[in-house]
């Protein structure tokens, strides 16, 4: 399916709210938050009041508006309003460290910032020592004016008109940024344009089958590209109802939202799906009523896929996207899922696989680094030309992810290129070994790292989170036997260490650098079982 060309002048806010309102469906709920429902018409009115307030305070074309807010209607309205007046909306990670917030404020040279009162201490620490301060600071939820020069949201919006003409923008004008996590260095702001929201109805509507009035829920927060693009932007584009939860997710909170609001489609990450199974929530009637489960953020183990399908009667639709691409570029679909496969290229997406010499890979089974070209690809990184040049070329984006494909057109993710390890002269994917361990009864989670030994050679070490009822020596022996029977001997970790929890990022990615540090601090012994080989 080919994406229709963008009009010569457009505004992303109109592209998101307009189709439903123009169809005379303005009474359909756009947002559900706690016990409140906000219709598309009411959301448009709030966006317009917000936009008029921003414009009255000097926010205009190209000005950045930072939003450090929990998942609430105010976050959605502020995000859309910034784009509607021609500004650039930037939703920030609510678990940012002070240094990350300070960087975002300075890097963006923001004109305005809207912040939840719960994060004012974080802001004050970030602004210490004469750091750049947002000229306009709006506080949501404050009962009294904070110490910082600011205005409360109620006062900011008071007496503002609920009518506002959208700023006419070129399709390629900046509309919003998404900051990368910065786990490999300085955070990067991926610059997305107004046209980038247009493919939302294709993936969410055509592929996932979301219809006007369907309810969508994401356990991931809206500052993550996965939730922002598929749940909010894609959901609004097709006239769906987006369920918001301002709490940080855990299995109990997610289960409560599913029981309370009965979403038709749920977006989450493998860690949450695993915990829902662990805590006994997945077998409840509420999850059986969900039409489609979608997973991204980290690789979905085949064993988890099967356990979830047994518990709920439905598969998890796995896919992979990126901050830079906005939407998933390789994914399964509700009608075509394969356990262990990341999926197939999505409509409108072009892929190419390059080897270590940057030569195209055309044979099934060979691994290479994936490059992607698609309509929602960002324009690059704000004020980071060298990193932009390293990742973007001729309309293509170098993902850094290692993939292979089979003769049937299924694509398989083998991890990040910098995660691969060379053991005994062979490239090894930690994910393959982790999947093998996760299929072992008694293993709740697992992660593999490479550690240099005294001879300077890299050897594998595994960390395992055991089930409470699993005997550790017996479990280690079972894991070892499974790995030796199913994988090559050089893929067998030299040590298996048992820990309470695998450290992960907020999106579920394994923080291997912390495990390497832990491996130094936790020598082999009572918590470690050697693996022969």
> For residue 183, is pLDDT > 80?
no
Q: For position 491, what pLDDT does the model report?
A: 85
Return the pLDDT at 240. 98
Judged by average pLDDT, the poorest of 90-99, 112-121, 130-139, 486-495 is 486-495
Mean pLDDT of the chain, nearest integer: 90
The dihedral sign for the CA sequence 234, 257, 268, 108: positive
Say which range, 2-6, 337-341, 457-461, has the weakest mean pLDDT: 2-6
pLDDT band at residue 10 under the 50/70/90 scheme: very high
pLDDT of residue 145: 63
- Between CA 56 and CA 206 the distance in angstroms is 39
Q: Give Cβ neighbours of residue 233 (< 8 Å, ≥ 6 apart).
A: 16, 197, 200, 326
pTM: 0.85
pLDDT digits (tens, 9 = 90+) for 278-325: 999 999 999 999 999 999 988 898 989 999 999 999 999 999 999 999
Confidence check: pLDDT of 525 > 60: no
Helices (H), 214-269: 225-226, 234-238, 251-261
- Nearest of 270, 268, 208 to residue 240 by alpha carbon: 208
Segment 324-369, tens digit of pLDDT: 999 999 999 999 999 999 999 999 999 999 988 889 999 999 989 9
Q: Mapping DSSP to helix (H, G, I), strand (E, B) and coil, where does residue 199 land? A: coil
* Phi and psi angles of residue 428, each rounded to the nearest 5 degrees, phi first: -125, 135
Asked whether the beta carbons of 260 and 266 are under 8 A apart, the reply is no
* Rounded Cα gap, residues 269 and 339, in angstroms: 15
Instruction: Give CA–CA dist 69/202, Å, rounded.
Output: 28
Q: What percent of the chain has pLDDT over 70?
A: 92
* pLDDT range class, residue 455, cuts 50, 70, 90: low
**Cα dihedral 43, 65, 123, 388 in deg (nearest 10):** 120
Give the pairing of strands 292-295 and 316-320.
parallel
Q: pLDDT at position 356, please?
A: 83
The more confident residue out of 122 and 458 is 122
C-alpha 356/C-alpha 474 separation (Å) is 41
**pLDDT tens, 28-47?**
999 999 999 999 999 999 99
pLDDT value at residue 531: 41
Note the pLDDT tens digit of each residue in 389-437.
999 999 999 999 999 999 999 999 988 777 777 676 566 778 889 989 9
CA atoms within 13 A on the CB side of 283: 7
- Please give the pLDDT value at position 8: 86
pLDDT band at 88 (very low <50, low <70, confident <90, very high): very high
Output the pLDDT for position 425: 59
Backbone angles phi, psi at 25, to 5 degrees: -110, 30
**pLDDT over 90 at 261, yes or no:** yes
Structural domains of the chain in order of their starting residue, each with its CATH number: 10-16+35-188 (3.40.50.980), 199-416 (3.40.50.12780), 420-530 (3.30.300.30)
């Amino acid at each position: 399916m080919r994406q229709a060309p963008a009009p010569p002048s457009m505004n992303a806010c109109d592209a998101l709210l307009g189709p439903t309102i123009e169809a005379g469906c303005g009474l359909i709920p756009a947002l559900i938050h706690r016990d409140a429902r906000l219709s598309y018409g009411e959301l448009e009115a709030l966006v317009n009041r917000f936009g008029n307030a921003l414009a009255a305070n000097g926010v205009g074309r190209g000005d950045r508006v930072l939003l450090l807010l929990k998942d609430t209607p105010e976050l959605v309205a502020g995000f859309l309003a910034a784009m509607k007046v021609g500004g650039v909306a930037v939703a920030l990670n609510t678990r940012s460290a002070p240094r990350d917030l300070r960087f975002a404020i300075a890097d963006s040279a923001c004109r305005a910032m809207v912040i939840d009162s719960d994060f004012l201490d974080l802001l004050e620490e970030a602004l210490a020592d004469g750091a750049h301060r947002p000229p306009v600071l709006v506080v949501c939820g404050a009962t009294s004016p904070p110490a910082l020069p600011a205005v409360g949201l109620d006062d900011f919006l008071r007496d503002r008109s609920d009518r506002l003409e959208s700023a006419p923008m070129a399709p390629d004008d900046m509309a919003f940024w998404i900051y990368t996590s910065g786990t490999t260095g300085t955070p990067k702001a991926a610059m997305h344009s107004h046209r980038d929201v247009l493919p939302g109805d294709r993936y969410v509507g055509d592929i996932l089958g979301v219809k006007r009035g369907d309810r969508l829920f994401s356990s991931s927060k809206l500052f993550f590209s996965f939730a922002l693009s598929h749940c909010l932007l894609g959901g609004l584009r097709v006239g769906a109802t987006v369920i918001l939860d301002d709490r940080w997710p855990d299995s109990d909170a997610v289960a409560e939202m599913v029981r309370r609001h009965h979403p038709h489609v749920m977006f989450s990450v493998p860690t949450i799906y695993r915990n829902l199974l662990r805590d006994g929530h997945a077998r409840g009637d509420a999850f059986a009523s969900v039409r489609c489960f979608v997973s991204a953020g980290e690789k979905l183990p085949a064993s988890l896929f099967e356990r979830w399908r047994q518990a709920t009667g439905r598969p998890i639709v796995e896919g992979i996207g990126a901050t830079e691409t906005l939407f998933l570029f390789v994914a399964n679909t509700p009608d075509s899922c394969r356990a262990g496969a990341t999926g197939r290229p999505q409509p409108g997406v072009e892929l190419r696989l390059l080897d270590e010499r940057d030569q195209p890979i055309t044979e099934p089974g060979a691994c290479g680094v994936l490059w992607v070209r698609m309509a929602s690809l960002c324009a690059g990184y704000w004020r980071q030309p060298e990193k932009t040049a390293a990742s973007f070329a001729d309309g293509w984006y170098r993902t850094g992810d290692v993939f292979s494909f089979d003769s049937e057109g299924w694509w398989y993710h083998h991890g990040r290129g910098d995660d691969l390890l060379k053991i005994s002269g062979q490239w090894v994917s930690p994910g393959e070994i982790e999947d093998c361990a996760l299929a072992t009864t008694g293993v709740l989670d697992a992660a593999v790292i490479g550690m240099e030994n005294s001879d300077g050679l890299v050897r594998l070490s595994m960390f395992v989170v055991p089930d409470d009822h699993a005997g550790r020596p017996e479990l280690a022996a079972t894991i070892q036997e499974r790995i030796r029977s199913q994988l090559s001997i050089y893929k067998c970790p030299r040590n298996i260490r048992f820990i309470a929890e695998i450290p992960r990022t907020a999106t579920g990615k394994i923080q291997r650098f912390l495990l390497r540090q832990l491996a130094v601090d936790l020598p082999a012994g009572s918590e470690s079982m050697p693996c022969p080989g």
